[in-house]
Structure 1
Amino acid sequence: MKITYIHHSSFLVELDFVNLLFDYYRGNIPAIDLEKPLIVFASHAHGDHFSKKIFELASSYRKIQYILSDDIDEKKVPDNCKDKVLFVGAGEQFTNRTFFQNNIEKKENRIEIETFQSTDEGVAFWITCEGKTIYHAGDLHFWFWRGEAQAWNQEMERRYYEEIDKLNGRHANIAFLVLDPRQENDFYLGINEFVKRVEVDHIIPMHCWGEYSIIQKMKFHSCAVAYKDRIAVIQQEGEILEWNS
């Protein structure tokens, strides 16, 4: 599995039979096989997670599909892409076989996708493909803000726990998780609560707003002693991460 960090919460995941692009709105997409299926995910409509530029990819990739959160305005989809778009809401579970109608029984051709309700807007994605499990949080996160009222933060905590409790006991090979330096001393809360519930092989922080030093702060926070070696370090756009598992 090859992962390229593009920008903010956007990553390209290259598997053997399919490529996955998450939350692209800016940055350089690596050159990849144009004949290999490409699935483009957008977790919600916020400008740092979605751009109409993703539809320009359809002119280059013959086997392309878009899986978009249903808070994204359908009017933003150009006519030439309408038959390539699937809008999804939270709490959905489905098998994607769009590219493989002639060989749908092949294991490598099945992509199982689940969606979860964000604590902000849109959805998070849990994807099973080629024997791998990949989680992309979108903006599903423990958005604790010291400037907010206690009741607001308690409600945020409740909503976050309610959603990630649905993943309790699961295993993910890769988890793209929010690590936002704007939360100041509370930056660690979302990741720490997630890994209490989900066994994650590789934790990939995102949503860092270019402040990559926050990743080292996470690795060496007292809460992360048991899992610090599983936190990937990203220092710049275009960085490549590769694992066999």
Structure 2
Amino acid sequence: MKITYIHHSSFLVELDSVNLLFDYYRGDIPIMDLEKPLIVFASHVHGDHFSKKIFELANSHKRIQYVLSNDIDEKKIPVNCKDKVLFVGAGEYFDGRVFTNKQFFQNIEKKESIIAVETLQSTDEGVAFWIICEGKTIYHAGDLHFWFWRGEAQSWNQEMERRYCKEIDKLNGRHADIAFLVLDPRQGDDFYLGINEFVKRVEIDYIIPMHCWGEYSIIQKMKSHSCADAYKDRIAVIRREGETLEWNS
């Protein structure tokens, strides 16, 4: 599995038979095999997770399928892409049989075999994605995170914690090969809370921080935090856009 960090929360995951692009809005997308199926995910409408630029990919990738959170306005979809978009909400489970682009399945006999997706409710907007593809389990949090802010009232933060834990409790006891998790330096000393709560519930082989706003030093800060002693070696280090991470189970 080849993983390329593009920008912010956007990554390209290249598997043997399909490529997955997450939350693209800015940055250089790596050159891809145009004949290889491409699934483009957008977790929600926020400008740092979604851009109409993703629809330009349909001009060169005929075997493309968009999986978009249903908070994204259908009016944003170009006419030539309307038959390639699947809108999803939280709490859904689906596989490739519901994909809308018929060209996507060229030479693929079993539509259900290529991918399975489960969505979770974000604590901000949209959804998070729990994906099984080629026997690998991939989680992309979107903005599902423990958004603890010291400037907010205690009751607000307690409600945020309740909502976050309620949602990730649905994954309790599961295993993920890779998980893209929010690590936001704007949270100050509370930066570690979201990842740490998630790791308490889910066994993760490879933790990939995202949403760092270009402050990659926060990753080393996470690895050095006492809470991460048991899993610090499983946290990927990202230093720049375009960096490639290779992962093999």
Shorter-chain TM-score: which interval? over 0.9
**Offset at residue 96 of structure 1 (A):** 1.4
Mapping for residues 1-245 of structure 1, pairs under 5 Å: 1-97=1-97, 98=99, 99-100=104-105, 103-105=108-110, 109-245=113-249
CA contact (8 A) 1:124 1:140 kept: yes
Query: Secondary structure of the residue that 2:181 maps to in structure 1?
Result: strand
When normalised by structure 1's length, the TM-score is 0.97
Instruction: Give aligned pairs, total.
Output: 244
Unaligned runs of 5+ in 1: none
Distance across 1 between alignment mates of 2:73 and 2:84: 15
CA contact (8 A) 1:104 1:110 kept: no
CA contact (8 A) 2:19 2:38 kept: yes
When normalised by structure 2's length, the TM-score is 0.96
**Offset at residue 147 of structure 1 (A):** 0.2
- Root-mean-square deviation (CA, aligned residues, Å) is 1.1
**Offset at residue 237 of structure 1 (A):** 0.1
Unaligned runs of 5+ in 2: none
Query: Secondary structure of the residue that 1:29 maps to in structure 2?
Result: coil
**Offset at residue 102 of structure 1 (A):** 6.0
Q: Percent identity?
A: 84
CA contact (8 A) 2:96 2:111 kept: no
1:132 maps to amino acid: K
1:157 maps to amino acid: E
1:55 maps to amino acid: F
2:56 maps to amino acid: E
2:73 maps to amino acid: D
CA contact (8 A) 2:63 2:105 kept: no
**Offset at residue 244 of structure 1 (A):** 1.3
**Offset at residue 106 of structure 1 (A):** 7.5
